Amino acid sequence: MRTHTRRSTRSRPRRRDPHGRVRAGARLRLPAHAATAGLVAVLAVLTVFSVTAAVTNARAASDAEQSALVSEWSEQAERSLVRQVDLVDDLALEPDEELRAEYDEASAATRAAIEEMGAVAGADEEIAVREWLRLHTRYEFAVEQLLSATATSPGIAETYEDVYVDPHHDALEALIRDEAKQHWDRANESLAFVGDVQQVLLVATPVVFGAGLAVVAWFAAILTRSRRETVAQAEANRQQALHDALTGLPNRTLLRQRGEVALAGAESGSVALMLIDLDRFKEVNDTLGHAYGDVVLQAVADRLRATVRGSDTVARLGGDEFAILLPRVVDEEAARQLAGRALVAMEAPIEVDGVSLDIDASIGIAMAGVHGEDVETLLQSADIAMYSAKDRGLGVCVYDDALNDHSPERLGLLGQLRRAIDNGELVLHFQPKIALPGAQVCGVEALVRWQHPQRGLVPPGDFIPLAERTPLIRPLTRYVVDAALEQCARWRDAGRDLGVAVNISARNLLDEHFVDEVEELLEHWRLPASCLELEVTESAIMADPERARRILTRLAECGVTLSVDDFGAGYTSLAQLKDLPVRQLKIDRSFVAPMAADPSNAMIVRSVVELGHNLGLTTVAEGVEDQATCESLQAMGCDVAQGYYICRPMPADALEAWFDATVGLRV
């Protein structure tokens, strides 16, 4: 991906919820809780209403019953008293034992009725009862006086009756009658109240229950709606769980699910899975910011979507990685054509805030039934094919067993290489570099070869890329640095002061221990750091520019010289190059070798030389194959030349012979 900045104004990054989740859960749960609480409140009100009504009613009924009983016993007392009076009248006329017994009976009945009344009325009437009994006792006493006077002196008796008996009787009777009336009234009042309460209940009960039912129905509606919203929310969350928040495309999980469905109903060879990776997307994110990165990803998503049919699935797997699932594709060629169309669709520059971004991508294709039987294997195969497309700059690559690092053949080779490092089967050839003008040898580049027991001398291109994909590159680089420094120390001992350059890989720039190892080896061979030069490619730096910068800075601080190898082949941003502690630019041999025949290559080399000098860097041209190239490089002001024209890479002893033979070589 290349960027052409026209304007430096950058859009402020759009504020986005990192998960894109709708945070409505709490808001929706509230009505559900309120509805439940409301329901409970309505039921509580109904219960309180019913209980209060029942209790009030019961209490009023019991009051009425009590008042009626008090009245009844009062009336009973009154009746007995009247009977007593009648008997007193008869006894006053003529004493008779039978009548006397009847009178005693009536008197006892009066007292009993008064006491019963007191028992029914309880504490309220305690004083009244005591008063009635006292009056009754005095009445009886007056009656006894009257009866005994009747026998002796009827005149006194009459007076007695008027003065003692009648007033006591009248007072008692008035009290009892009054009491009876009062209680009848109270009983009637209570009964009337019960009636009123029942009237109210008759009207209020249906009203309150109706209102309660309405409220319950209302709350039920809220609950139902809230449940419906919860279900909708759950569905939305499920959608979100299966889609990428930024582009809205299906995510890896949904791709897998759809892949499984497609495979279940597919004939062999009719399902294809493609993996698409944007080249150098990280660079856009790192140099221009995530807001730009997001716009690029959205644009890519739209373009990919527009390339496929509705039944195909475009998914974003994360970062700058996309996938396309073709559930019904005719054959591998049709899949390849679609991948080509996808690349073309992505080619048009994407404009973001006046910055024009060119998208390059690499696509790997895997066919079901041929390159994998299940989604997981297809994803792996497409991934391997995609990396191969990226490595080889092919754009599109269909999976092939030969690409697979994990194929038995590759795994076997890795095992052999591991043993080769331990057994010292790796050998170094050295290629001299000469300073222009003057042709003084100013250093050598160490280039590794594998002295394979069966295959003979294996070139680095056959095993370095494989080692670079595994941690094996670390011991390999250590081995080369060690062997190169050993040779350098030997030359120094022999009076030949030559710096040695070693190629290092991206993984070495991610390895925090690498700097310590280099320092340790320099110390071991008792060499100053200025003897060692490390060549690192642009792509190795760009794999993780921040980390690379950290490690390169530490190396430069040790005194090691750093060169950017194969310069011009990649797209290192000049701003980044300027900030790196590198001292040399090695112009890629693909520009240098053909420059004598091709003026455009010569122009590129010239501008790189100028650029290097502007940045204060030494420029080295590699791949110098003829005298004309060497002369024009010198004319351009290039500082150092390296190539077959000067000397092929060769073992150390052969190179020593070359040194001796070419002293004073002039270009």
What residue ranges bind ligand C2E (CB under 6 A)? 431, 447-448, 459-461, 464, 480, 503-505, 535, 565-566, 589, 593, 622-625, 643-644, 649
Q: List phi, psi (to 5°) of 461.
A: -60, -25
Closer by beta carbon to ligand C2E, 67 or else 431: 431
Q: Is residue 639 within the footprint of Ca ion (CB under 5 A)?
A: no
Q: How many residues comprise the chain? A: 667
DSSP 3-state assignment of 569? Answer: coil
| Tokens 């040695």, residue located | 500
d(CA 428, CA 166): 153
Stretch that binds Ca ion, among 58-66, 256-264, 508-516, 622-630 (CB under 5 A): 622-630
Q: Which does 464 bind (CB under 5 to 8 A by kind): Ca ion, ligand C2E, none?
A: ligand C2E
Q: Is residue 566 within the footprint of Ca ion (CB under 5 A)?
A: yes
d(CA 457, CA 447): 13
For residue 524, the minimal CB distance to Ca ion (Å) is: 24
d(CA 527, CA 489): 7
Closer by beta carbon to Ca ion, 72 or else 622: 622
Kind and range of the H or E element at 428? strand 426-435
Output the six-digit token pair for 583: 């001292």
Closer by beta carbon to ligand C2E, 250 or else 643: 643
Instruction: Return the amino acid letter for 51.
Output: V
Stretch that binds Ca ion, among 239-247, 392-400, 507-515, 616-624 (CB under 5 A): 616-624
Closer by beta carbon to ligand C2E, 107 or else 508: 508
Closer by beta carbon to ligand C2E, 322 or else 430: 430
Member of 352, 565, 639, 643 binding Ca ion (CB under 5 A): 565
Q: Which does 352 bind (CB under 5 to 8 A by kind): ligand C2E, Ca ion, none?
A: none
d(CA 483, CA 652): 11
Q: Which does 143 bind (CB under 5 to 8 A by kind): Ca ion, ligand C2E, none?
A: none
Strands ordered across the beta sheet of 350-352: 2-5, 355-358, 350-352
Query: Is 350 exposed, middle or buried, given 0-12, 13-18 or 19+ CB atoms closer than 10 A?
Result: buried
Q: Is residue 535 within the footprint of Ca ion (CB under 5 A)?
A: yes
DSSP 3-state assignment of 585? Answer: strand
Q: Which residues pair with 275 in a beta bridge?
A: 323, 364
Q: Which residues pair with 209 in a beta bridge?
A: none
Q: Is residue 505 within the footprint of Ca ion (CB under 5 A)?
A: no
Stretch that binds Ca ion, among 146-154, 426-434, 495-503, 611-619 (CB under 5 A): 495-503
Member of 503, 508, 584, 629 binding Ca ion (CB under 5 A): 503
Closer by beta carbon to Ca ion, 312 or else 622: 622
For residue 389, the minimal CB distance to ligand C2E (Å) is: 20
Output the six-digit token pair for 475: 């011991």
Q: Which does 431 bind (CB under 5 to 8 A by kind): Ca ion, ligand C2E, none?
A: ligand C2E
Output the six-digit token pair for 381: 């195969």
Q: How many residues bind Ca ion (CB under 5 A)?
A: 5
| Tokens 């759009």, residue located | 14
Instruction: Return the amino acid letter for 560.
Output: V
Peptide bond into 437 cis (omega under 30): yes
For residue 465, the minimal CB distance to ligand C2E (Å) is: 9
Closer by beta carbon to Ca ion, 359 or else 534: 534
Closer by beta carbon to ligand C2E, 376 or else 462: 462
Residues that bind Ca ion (CB under 5 A): 503, 535, 565-566, 622
